[in-house]
C-alpha cells in the first residue's frame, strides 16, 4: 500500500446498497493518496465484493443499523489503527474524493480539534428543490441550537477528530447522527470550519437515495426539538476542549 498523503487521516466510506458506484469512489480516493476504510452497513447487493483486490480496509455489519452506526464503527476502527482523524464521504458518487485534501488542509490551520465540513456548491440544475430547502432548514436550526452560522450542516463529507467524536454521548444513529454529532461537538468545545466542495447530483431517474422522507424527517424534527430544549437549560455542557463553544444560554437565546 502506497504511503498515504495524510497519514493521520483515514477516509471512511459508509456503504449501503451502492454496489454500482462504490468501486469508482474508492479507486478515486486511493488515487488521491488516502488510506480507505469501507463500512458496509448490512447491504443486500454485495457491494463489498466489487472492491476485491483494492488495498483498503473493510468492515461488514450483519444487518442495516444506520449511517451513524457505520460511521461510529469506522471511527472505533480508526482509533484502533492509530488514526487521529476520519474523513467521511458518501458511496454514491455525490462527493469528489479528489477534494478530500481541501478538508485536511483546512484542519491543519487549526491548533485545536476541529470538524471540517465540505460545504456543497449546489449549483447544478439537477439538485432537487427539497435539498435546497432541507439545507436551509437545517442551517437555521443548528444556528439556533449552538450559535454557529454554517452554510451546509447536512453535508456528508466531513472531517472529524477521532478522540472527540468517540467521547460524545450520541444516540441518533441514522441520518440524524450527523446533526447531533455536529451540535454536541460545538457544545463540547470542538471548533467547526467549512470549505467549498463540488457535488454531483445525477438525473432523477438515475438517483439512488435511502433517505426516507417521512421517517427520517420525523427523526430530524424530534432531534431538533430535543437540542433546542437542551440549549435552553441553564447548566453548562461538559467540555472536551477548553475555551471553545457557547454556553447553553449565550448568543441571545434565553
pLDDT tens digits for range 190-243: 999 999 999 887 645 554 555 555 665 677 788 888 999 998 887 888 899 876
CA distance 144 to 253: 8
pLDDT at 247 over 80: no
What's the CATH class of domain 9-232? alpha beta
Is the pLDDT reported for residue 244 higher than 60?
no
Q: What is the pTM of this model?
A: 0.86
Amino acid at each position: 500500500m502506497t504511503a498515504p498523503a495524510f497519514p493521520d487521516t483515514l477516509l471512511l466510506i459508509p456503504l449501503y446498497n451502492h454496489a454500482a458506484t462504490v468501486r469508482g469512489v474508492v479507486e478515486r480516493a486511493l488515487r488521491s493518496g488516502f488510506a480507505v476504510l469501507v463500512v458496509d452497513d448490512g447491504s443486500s447487493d454485495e457491494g463489498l465484493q466489487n472492491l476485491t483486490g483494492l488495498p483498503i480496509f473493510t468492515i461488514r455489519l450483519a444487518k442495516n443499523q444506520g449511517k451513524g452506526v457505520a460511521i461510529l464503527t469506522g471511527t472505533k476502527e480508526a482509533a484502533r489503527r492509530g488514526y487521529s482523524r476520519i474523513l467521511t464521504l458518501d458511496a454514491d458518487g455525490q462527493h469528489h474524493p479528489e477534494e478530500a485534501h481541501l478538508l485536511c488542509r483546512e484542519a491543519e490551520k487549526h491548533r485545536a480539534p476541529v470538524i471540517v465540513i465540505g460545504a456543497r456548491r449546489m449549483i447544478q440544475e439537477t439538485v432537487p428543490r427539497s435539498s435546497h430547502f432541507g439545507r436551509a432548514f437545517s442551517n437555521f436550526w443548528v444556528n439556533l441550537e449552538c450559535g454557529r452560522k454554517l452554510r451546509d450542516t447536512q453535508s456528508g463529507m466531513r472531517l472529524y477528530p477521532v478522540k472527540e467524536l468517540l467521547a460524545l454521548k450520541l444516540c441518533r444513529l441514522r441520518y440524524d447522527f450527523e446533526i447531533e454529532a455536529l451540535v454536541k461537538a460545538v457544545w463540547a468545545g470542538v471548533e467547526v470550519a467549512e470549505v467549498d466542495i463540488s457535488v454531483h447530483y445525477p438525473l432523477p431517474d438515475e438517483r439512488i437515495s435511502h433517505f426516507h422522507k417521512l421517517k427520517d424527517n420525523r427523526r430530524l424534527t424530534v432531534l431538533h426539538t430535543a437540542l433546542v430544549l437542551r440549549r435552553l437549560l441553564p447548566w453548562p455542557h461538559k467540555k472536551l476542549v477548553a475555551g471553545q463553544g457557547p454556553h447553553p444560554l449565550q448568543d441571545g437565546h434565553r
